[in-house]
Chains A and B, each alone.
Chain A
Amino acid sequence: GNSVTQMEGPVTLSEEAFLTINCTYTATGYPSLFWYVQYPGEGLQLLLKATKADDKGSNKGFEATYRKETTSFHLEKGSVQVSDSAVYFCALRSSTGGFKTIFGAGTRLFVKA
């Protein structure tokens, strides 16, 4: 079946550091890939998405590229801020069978001033 694996946290960075959160997936067909962010006490918010191979999703300085050859969708940001502290979820939405969305376990990011 489909699955999503993302790096375990927590990840602790200083402000203005470079961020990478790794995400790999297994899937049949042609899934769409997403990153969601969850701030404390809130629901998840869609951060960015990519719907086909080599697509790059971007939003608020975050980027991720859909790499079919390595089945990866790593999240990157060039310079993190304290306000980026949150939990980040990689997700896959199937192109078949009910269009289910599967989430990774989440990676908690702490950014220190």
Chain B
Amino acid sequence: EAQVTQNPRYLITVTGKKLTVTCSQNMNHEYMSWYRQDPGLGLRQIYYSMNVEVTDKGDVPEGYKVSRKEKRNFPLILESPSPNQTSLYFCASSPSGQSAPFGYTFGSGTRLTVV
């Protein structure tokens, strides 16, 4: 089944404790992206990657890191989480970033709480 898999689904952590949210897709998509969803703000892009070893900042990159060492994986790293990073996070992928008309396939989301 074609899918984007995120782990974990739920995570409660303490301020300052480094964490990684994993994202993997099995569709051979070149383009991958991370979003956060907050009430009243819709989805905001954190980082995106147009291909292996090519990443760029989205609209809200502060406090986050990403890497794209393999085509299928695009982990999101919070080096020192803070309470304002409490949110619902989504990973998404699509075919080639060189062509706009493709929609995303989304993961099921990771609900992160930082206390």
Cβ-defined contact, A43 with B101, below 8 A: no
Q: Which of A86-113 contact B (CB under 8 A)?
A: 89, 93-95, 98-106
Partner of B31, one of A31, A34, A46, A99: A99
What is the interface size of chain B, counting residues whose CB is below 8 A from a CB of the partner? Answer: 28
Number of interface residues of A (CB under 8 A): 24
| B104 CB contact (under 8 Å) in A51, A94, A101, A106 | A101
The interface residues of chain B lying within 8 Å CB-to-CB of A45 are 106
Minimum C-beta distance from A89 to chain B (A): 7
What residues of A have a CB within 8 angstroms of the CB of B109 in the complex?
A: 42-43
**From A36, A89, A93, A105, contact of B101 by CB (8 A):** A93
Given contacts A98-B50, A98-B56, A46 and B103 within 8 Å (CB-CB)? yes
- The stretch from B12-20, B37-45, B65-73 touching chain A is B37-45
- Listed by A's residue number, 22 A-B pairs whose Cβ atoms lie within 8 Å are A34-B103, A42-B109, A43-B92, A43-B108, A43-B109, A44-B43, A44-B92, A44-B106, A46-B104, A51-B100, A51-B101, A93-B100, A95-B100, A98-B50, A99-B97, A99-B99, A102-B45, A103-B35, A103-B43, A104-B42, A105-B41, A105-B42
Question: Which 3 pairs, one residue from A and one from B, show the smallest C-beta to C-beta distance?
Answer: A43-B106, A46-B103, A51-B101
